[in-house]
Amino acid sequence: MATKTGIPTTPMAGTPAVTLSNEEVLRYSRHLIMPEVGMEGQLKLKAAKVLCIGTGGLGAPLGVYLAAAGVGRIGLVDFDTVDLTNLQRQILFSTSDVGRPKIEAAADRLRGLNPDIQIDTFETRLTSENALELFKDYDLIVDGTDNFPTRYLVNDTCILLGKQNVYGSIFRFEGQVTVFGAPGGPCYRCLYPEPPPPGLVPSCAEGGVLGVLPGIVGSIQAAETLKLIIGKGEPLIGRLLLFDALAMRFRELKLRKNPECPACGAHPTVTSLIDYAEFCGIRGEEAPALQTTVPEIAPRELKARLDRGDDLFILDVREPHEYQICNLGGYLIPLGDLSRRASELDRSREIVAHCRSGKRSAEAVEFLHKAGFRKVLNLKGGILAWSDEVDPSVPKY
Partner 1 sequence: MAVKVIIPTPLRPYAGKQESIELQAGSVAEALVALTTRFSELKKHLYSDDGRLRSFVNIYVNDEDIRYLQKEKTSLREGDTVSIVPSIAGGSHIA
Please identify every residue annotated as catalytic. Answer: 204, 355
Alpha helices by DSSP H, the chain: 22-27, 29-32, 38-47, 59-69, 102-113, 131-135, 148-161, 188-191, 212-230, 276-279, 290-293, 299-307, 320-325, 338-341, 359-370, 382-389
Binding residue for partner 1, selected from 97, 156, 174, 224, defined by CB under 8 A:
174
User: Could you tell me the smallest distance in angstroms from the CB atom of residue 184 to partner 1?
Assistant: 16
Q: Is 252 an interacting residue with respect to partner 1 (CB under 8 A)?
A: yes
Indicate the residue among 6 and 207 with the shorter CB distance to partner 1.
Answer: 207
User: Could you tell me the smallest distance in angstroms from the CB atom of residue 72 to partner 1?
Assistant: 28
* Rounded Cα gap, residues 263 and 269, in angstroms: 6
Q: Is 148 an interacting residue with respect to partner 1 (CB under 8 A)?
A: yes
* Rounded Cα gap, residues 270 and 80, in angstroms: 29
* Rounded Cα gap, residues 312 and 222, in angstroms: 54
Indicate the residue among 172 and 375 with the shorter CB distance to partner 1.
Answer: 172
* Rounded Cα gap, residues 111 and 292, in angstroms: 47
User: Could you tell me the smallest distance in angstroms from the CB atom of residue 41 to partner 1?
Assistant: 30
> What is the SS3 assignment for 182?
coil
Indicate the residue among 192 and 331 with the shorter CB distance to partner 1.
Answer: 192
Instruction: Give backbone dihedrals phi and psi of 361, rounded to 5 degrees, phi first.
Output: -70, -25
Q: Is 242 an interacting residue with respect to partner 1 (CB under 8 A)?
A: yes
Indicate the residue among 204 and 314 with the shorter CB distance to partner 1.
Answer: 204
> What is the SS3 assignment for 11?
coil
Handedness of CA 198, 202, 208, 209 (dihedral sign): negative
> What is the SS3 assignment for 122?
strand
User: Could you tell me the smallest distance in angstroms from the CB atom of residue 63 to partner 1?
Assistant: 17
Residue type, 215: G
Indicate the residue among 61 and 214 with the shorter CB distance to partner 1.
Answer: 214
Q: Is 256 an interacting residue with respect to partner 1 (CB under 8 A)?
A: yes
Binding residue for partner 1, selected from 7, 132, 204, 371, defined by CB under 8 A:
204
Nearest Cα to Cα of residue 361 among 254, 203, 148 = 203
**Span interacting with partner 1, options 7-15, 128-136, 253-261, 302-310, rule CB under 8 A:** 253-261
Indicate the residue among 271 and 339 with the shorter CB distance to partner 1.
Answer: 339
Indicate the residue among 47 and 364 with the shorter CB distance to partner 1.
Answer: 364
Which 282-321 positions form the footprint of partner 1 (CB under 8 A)?
A: 287
**Span interacting with partner 1, options 2-10, 64-72, 102-110, 251-259, rule CB under 8 A:** 251-259
Binding residue count for partner 1, defined by CB under 8 A: 52
Neighbouring C-beta atoms of residue 7, cutoff 10 Å = 14
Neighbouring C-beta atoms of residue 226, cutoff 10 Å = 24
Nearest Cα to Cα of residue 325 among 380, 383, 364 = 383
Q: Is 127 an interacting residue with respect to partner 1 (CB under 8 A)?
A: no
Residue type, 238: G
Please name the residues in contact with 6: beta carbons below 8 A apart, sequence gap of 6 or more: 19
User: Could you tell me the smallest distance in angstroms from the CB atom of residue 275 to partner 1?
Assistant: 17
Binding residue for partner 1, selected from 24, 244, 301, 366, defined by CB under 8 A:
244
* Rounded Cα gap, residues 358 and 29, in angstroms: 55
**Span interacting with partner 1, options 11-19, 59-67, 127-135, 236-244, rule CB under 8 A:** 236-244
User: Could you tell me the smallest distance in angstroms from the CB atom of residue 209 to partner 1?
Assistant: 4
* Rounded Cα gap, residues 200 and 362, in angstroms: 16
In the stretch 338-357, what mask flags binding to partner 1 with x, by CB under 8 A? ------------------xx
Indicate the residue among 5 and 85 with the shorter CB distance to partner 1.
Answer: 85
> What is the SS3 assignment for 75?
strand
User: Could you tell me the smallest distance in angstroms from the CB atom of residue 148 to partner 1?
Assistant: 5
Q: Which positions lie near partner 1, rule CB under 8 A?
A: 56-58, 89, 145-148, 151, 168-174, 176, 191-196, 200-209, 214, 240, 242, 244, 246-247, 251-256, 258, 287, 336, 356-357, 359-360
